[in-house]
């Protein structure tokens, strides 16, 4: 538990103030959501994971002095990252550890939202026997009622609300592998985090294209990319080097064919790595 909390602090910045818990989950497609922001998903998830831990443990880490923090960081590196124990961290070792951390953050998010929606027990007939199997599922109706206020669900809702529901339903159907209209816990994971699934990732790519491709030419230009990042980024964009760094990332890493824009394949390589 200590290592996981410390790792979340590494991702979200050690000095970050914890948020207060609310009664509703951090649903990914609420009407007030920010536009698609793939780069921040791990950071936000890690913050949510940290928020869900016991307050006593949070307070314990806030009271550590810099030397104690350094010792704990070294312990994390030695026990979890530096697998060959040579005293150095290679890019591959760091990638493996970040993936482990990301998986813990994602699963924590899925577990919390699964509990919030109070899944129902459903009987399912199988070919193997005469007796139905029981499984826990979340129905589409329950999801709607637990997620959106009544005014959003009305037939005369405003266009923005209708668009949110359209995208939510598309994502729901994309995650619903067996097509029964309900989501199991595994399917809910693909609904919440489609960008983490090669099978379900197409909908995340589609959402990203819709959010960034403002002229609807089926590709994202550098200007569209920067406009989107400027819209969804926080205080980090106040850094004097931020614009140069983001433009360089687009040119040097995302735009693989160097044509000045991101096509669907390049977008998928970014969104669903």
Last residue of a domain, one of 192, 213, 230: 192
Task: Read off the pTM.
Answer: 0.71
Q: Convert the pLDDT of each residue in 146-156 to its tens digit.
A: 999 988 888 88
Beta strands in 97-153 (DSSP E): 120-124, 133-139
pLDDT in tens, 27-82: 444 333 333 333 334 445 444 544 554 455 555 666 778 888 888 888 888 888 88
Question: 10 falls in which pLDDT band (50, 70, 90)?
Answer: very low
What pLDDT score was predicted for residue 14?
37
Same domain, 73 and 102: yes
Instruction: Identify the domain boundary among 117, 142, 159.
Output: 117
CA 205 to CA 168: how far, in whole Å?
14
Whether residue 161 sits in one domain with residue 142? yes
- Measured between alpha carbons, how far is 207 from 191 in angstroms, rounded to an integer? 13
pLDDT mean over 83-105: 89
Structural domain including 132 reads 119-192
- Decide if 93 is inside a domain: yes
Where a domain ends, among 192, 208, 229? Answer: 192
Does 131 lie in the same domain as 100? no
């Amino acid at each position: 538990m200590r290592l996981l909390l410390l790792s979340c602090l590494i991702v979200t910045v050690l000095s970050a103030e914890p948020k207060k818990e609310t009664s509703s989950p951090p649903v990914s497609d609420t009407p007030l959501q920010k536009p698609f922001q793939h780069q921040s998903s791990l950071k936000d998830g890690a913050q949510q994971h940290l928020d869900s831990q016991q307050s006593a443990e949070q307070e314990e880490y806030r009271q550590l002095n810099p030397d104690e923090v350094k010792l704990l960081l070294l312990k994390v590196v030695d026990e979890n990252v530096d697998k060959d124990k040579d005293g150095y961290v290679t890019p591959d070792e760091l990638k493996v550890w970040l993936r482990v951390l990301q998986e813990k953050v994602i699963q924590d998010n899925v577990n919390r939202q699964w509990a919030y929606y109070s899944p129902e027990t459903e009987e399912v007939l199988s070919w193997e026997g005469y007796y139905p199997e029981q499984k826990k599922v979340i129905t589409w109706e329950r999801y709607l009622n637990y997620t959106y206020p009544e005014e959003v669900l009305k037939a005369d809702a405003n266009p923005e609300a209708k668009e949110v529901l359209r995208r939510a339903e598309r994502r729901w159907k994309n995650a619903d592998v067996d097509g029964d209209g309900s989501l199991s816990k595994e399917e809910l994971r693909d609904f919440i985090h489609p960008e983490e699934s090669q099978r379900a990732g197409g909908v995340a790519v589609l959402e990203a294209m819709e959010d960034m491709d403002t002229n609807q030419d089926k590709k994202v230009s550098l200007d569209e990319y920067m406009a989107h990042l400027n819209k969804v980024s926080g205080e980090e964009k106040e850094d004097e080097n931020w614009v140069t760094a983001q433009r360089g990332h687009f040119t040097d890493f995302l735009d693989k064919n160097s044509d000045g824009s991101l096509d669907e394949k390049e977008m998928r390589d970014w969104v669903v790595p």
